[in-house]
Amino acid sequence: MINNALNMVVLDGYAGNPGDMSWDALEALCHCTIYERTAADQVLARAAEADMILTNKVVIDRDTIAALGRLKYIGVMATGYNIVDVAAAREHGVVVTNVPAYSTHSVAQIVFAHIFDITNSVQHYTREAHAGVWSRKPDFTYYNTPVVELYGKVMGIVGLGNIGMAVAKIALALGMKVLAHTSKESAQLPEGVTKADIDTVFSQSDVLSLHCPLTAETRGLVNAQRLSQMKQDAILINTARGPLVDEAALAEALACGKLMGAGLDVLTQEPPLPDNPLLKQPRCRITPHIGWASQEARIRLMHTIISNVKAFVEGKPQNVVS
- Count of residues making up the chain: 322
Q: Which of 114, 226, 241, 298 is catalytic?
A: 241
252 is catalytic: no
Cα separation, 297 vs 291, whole angstroms: 9
User: Which residues have CB under 8 Å from 99's CB, separation 6+?
Assistant: 76, 77, 78, 79, 301, 304, 305, 308, 319
Beta strand 234-238 with 259-264 is parallel
Element (H, E) at 95: strand 95-97
Beta strands in 192-322 (DSSP E): 193-195, 207-210, 234-238, 259-264, 284-286
Grouping H, G, I as helix, E, B as strand and the rest as coil, residue 165 is helix
User: What's the sign of the alpha-carbon dihedral 277, 281, 285, 287?
Assistant: positive
124 is catalytic: no
Write the burial class of residue 200 (CB in 10 Å: 0-12 exposed, 13-18 middle, 19+ buried). middle
Q: Which of 181, 226, 283, 289 is catalytic?
A: 289
Q: Which of 91, 149, 270, 296 is catalytic?
A: 270
Number of H helices and E strands in the chain, helices first, is 11, 12
Determine the distance from the C-alpha atom of residue 209 to the mean position of all C-alpha atoms in its chain, rounded to a whole number. 12
92 is catalytic: no
Cα separation, 140 vs 313, whole angstroms: 64
Which sequence positions are flagged as catalytic? 241, 270, 289
